Structure 1
Amino acid sequence: MKIADFITWFEKWANPAWQESWDNCGWQIEPGVLQESARVLVCLTPTLAVMQEAIALQNAGIPVNLIFAHHPLIFSPPKSLRCGDAIGEMARLAFTYNIGIYTAHTNFDQVDDGTADVLAQILELKEVSPVVPTQAGLGYGRVGNLDQSIALKELLTIIQTRLAPSHLISSPVVDLKQAISRVAVLGGSGASYLSAVVKTGAQAYLTSDCKFHQFQESRDRGVILIDAGHYATERPACDRLVQKFQDLNLDSVQLSQQDEDFRLLY
C-alpha cells in the first residue's frame, strides 16, 4: 500500500478535521514519500532518538519511510529552522533520509481503539461510553463498569501491573478496601475533564499530569484521581496502532523502541 493510500485509510477512521483548535494533526514533514510503499515506525513522540532509530533501520535493510506519531512534532509555527535545534534537525534528517512524519493526536483520542478506548479495554471496562461525547459514539475519555466491584487497592495493583507506570499517584483515601465498580479513563493530560467525570458517576478516574489542587478538587468532589503518567496512559495505544496497521499488510510496521517517558522516579 502506498503511503498516500495508507493515510487516506487512516483519515477515514480518525479525521484530522476533528482535532482541537490548538492542535496540529496530520503531516508534520512530507519529504516526497506519498507514492512509496508504506514502511512505518510507530511512536508516541517524534524525537531525534526515534528519527535515529528509523535511520538505523534503513541502514539495517529495513527501509522505514514514515514515522507515525501520536504527539505532534510542531505545535505552533517555528520562526526559523536551524541545525542543532530539535525541530530543525528533525526536518534536515527527514529530507536527507526521505522519512515522513505524520501525527494523529486529538483526532485519534476520540475514536474507537484510540487512546481512551485502549485504556478502557486494558481495565476490562464494560458498557463503555465517552466521558465527553463529540460525535456519534465517539469522544474524549471513556467511562464504564467493572465486571464486579473490587477494592481500590486491587484497582491500583491492576493499573500498576498492566500499565507499568514509572509512578502511580492517587488521591489520599481513608480506606483502600473501599469498593470500586465504575471507572473513567483518559490517556494523557486529562485532569481538566474532572467535572465531566463527576457527572458520569465514576468513583475513580485514571489519567495523567494532575496538579496538586486538582487532586484536592477530586477529593472534594468524591472522585479518586489516579495519575499513572502521560507515557504509561498513551503508549498502549501505539501498540494498538501497530496491530491495526499490520492488518493492512503494509511492507513493514514496527513499534519504536526509542520512545521516551521523559520523567524518571528516583
Structure 2
Amino acid sequence: MKIVDLITWFEAWANPAWCESWDNCGWQVEPGVLQESARVLVCLTPTLAVMEEAIAQNANLIFAHHPLIFAPPKSFRRGEAISEMVRSAFTHNIGIYTAHTNFDQVQDGTADVLAQILNLQEVTPIVPTVSGLGYGRVGVLEKLLTLQELLGIIQQQLKPPDLIFSPTADLHQTISRVAVLGGSGASYISAVVKTGAQVYLTSDCKFHQFQESRDRGLILVDAGHYATERPACDRLSQKFISLNLDWVQLSQRDEDFRQFCTKYNF
C-alpha cells in the first residue's frame, strides 16, 4: 500500500477536521513520500531517538500521536530538536504524520483502548463530539472490584512507573463505574463527575485537581501520560499490520520522559 493510500484510509476513520483549534494534526513533514510503499514506524512522540530508529529500519513514515510541531516555530537552528528532526526527515526521505485529538475521539483510539483494557461495558464518551464519538470513555466494570483490585489491574496492564491516586480511607470499597481518558485529562473532572463514575483514570493531574476530585467524591487515578496513551499506539500498529503494508513496527525507542527516585539507590 502506498503512503498516500494509507493516509486516505486513516483519515476516513479519524478525520483530521475533528482536530482541536489549538492542536496540529496531519502532516508535520512530507518530503515527497506519498507514492512510496509504506514502511511505517508508529510512536507516541516523535523524537530524535525515534528518528534514528526509523533511519536504521529504513522506514519512510513516522506515524505519531503527539505532534512534532504544536505552535509555528519562529526559527530553525542547527542543534535544536525540531530543526534536526525536520532536517533528518528531508535528508532520509522520511515523512512525519500526527494523529492527536482526532485519534483521541474515535473507536479504538486512546480512550477506547483504555476502556477495553479495563473491560468496561456499556461504554459511552465522557464528552460526546461527533457521530457518537468523543473524548474519554465511561462504563461499568465487567464484575465488581475493590479499589485495591482495580488499582492492581491498572498497574498490571499499563505498567506505569508509579501510580498516584486520591486519598481514600477504604481501599476495599466496591467499584462498579469507571471513567478513562488517555493523556492529560484533568480538565474533564467536572464532566466525569456528571457521569456518575466512581474512579477516573487519566494523567498529568495537579495537586489541587486531586483535592477537587476528593471533594466531589471522585477517586482520581494518575497513571502517567506515557502509560495511558502508549497502548493505543500499539493497537494502531496492529491495525496497520492488518493492511498488509510492506513493514510496520511499534517504536522501541519511545520515551516516558519521567524517572522516579524509587528505582535507584542513592
TM class, shorter-length: over 0.9
The CA deviation string for residues 197-234 of structure 1, in whole angstroms up to 9 with x for no partner, is 00100000000000000000000000000000000000
Where do 1:25-64 residues align within 5 Å?
25-58=25-58, 64=59
Structure 2 residue corresponding to 1:259, chosen from 254, 258, 262: 254
- CA–CA separation in structure 1 for the residues paired with 2:242 and 2:143: 33
1:211 aligns with 2:211: no
| CA displacement at 1:147 relative to structure 2 | 1.6
Residue correspondence of structure 1 range 155-174 to structure 2 within 5 A:
155-174=150-169
Deviates more, 1:176-185 or 1:76-85: 76-85
**TM-score of the aligned structures, taking structure 2 as reference length:** 0.97
- In the aligned structure 2, how far is the partner of 1:126 from the partner of 1:203? 15
Letter in 1 for 2:148: K
Q: How far did residue 138 of structure 1 move?
A: 0.2
**Structure 2 unaligned spans of 5+:** 262-266
What does residue 14 of structure 2 align with? 14
Q: Counterpart of 2:74?
A: 79
| Pair 1:91 & 2:74 matched | no
The residue type paired with residue 6 of structure 1 is L
Q: 1:259 and 1:48 mapped to 2: Cα distance?
A: 10
Long gaps (5+) in structure 1? 59-63
Paired AA for residue 246 in structure 2? D
Instruction: Report the CA distance between 1:186 and its aligned residue.
Output: 0.1
Displacement after TM superposition at 1:83 (Å): 1.4
Q: Tell me the equivalent position of 2:124.
A: 129
Q: What code does the residue aligned with 1:215 have?
A: F
Alignment pair present for 1:70 and 2:60: no
User: Could you report, residue by residue, the CA deviation over 1:157-179 in whole angstroms, capped at 9, with x for unpaired residues?
Assistant: 00000000011000000000000
Question: Shift of residue 57 of structure 1?
Answer: 1.3
Amino acid across the alignment from 1:19: C
Q: Deviations over 1:68-102 (max 9, x none)?
A: 00000000010111210111100110000000000
Structure 1 residue matching 2:237: 3-state secondary structure: helix
The root-mean-square deviation of aligned C-alpha atoms, in Å, is 0.5
Percentage of matched positions with identical amino acids: 79
Note the C-alpha offset of 1:18. Answer: 0.1
Separation in 2, partners of 1:211, 1:67: 32
Q: Distance in 2 between matches of 1:23 and 1:235?
A: 19
Task: Name the SS of the counterpart of 1:4 in structure 2.
Answer: helix
Partner of 2:235, secondary structure, is: helix
The residue that corresponds to 1:187 in the other structure is 182
Deviation (angstroms), 1:136: 1.9
Secondary structure at the aligned position of 1:135 is classed as: coil
| TM-score, L = length of structure 1 | 0.97
Paired with 2:160 and 2:67, the residues of 1 have a C-alpha distance of 22
| C-alpha distance in 2 between matches for 1:83 and 1:39 | 28
Residue 143 (1) aligns with residue 166 (2): no
Q: CA deviation at 1:11?
A: 0.2
Alpha-carbon shift at residue 49 of structure 1 (Å)? 0.3
Write the deviation string for residues 90-118 of structure 1: whole angstroms up to 9, x where unpaired. 01100000000000000000000000000
Moved over 4 A (4+): none
- Render the CA deviation track for 1:5-44: whole Å, top value 9, x for unaligned: 1100000000000011100000000000000001000000
Q: Distance between the aligned counterparts of 1:55 and 1:162, measured in 2?
A: 31
Q: 2:195 and 2:116 mapped to 1: Cα distance?
A: 18
2:41 partner amino acid:
L
Equivalent pairs counted in the alignment come to 261
Cα deviation, residue 149, structure 1: 1.4
In the alignment, is residue 199 of structure 1 matched against residue 176 of structure 2? no
What are the superposed Cα offsets for residues 215-256 of structure 1, whole Å, 9 maximum, x if unpaired? 000000000000000000000000000110011100000000
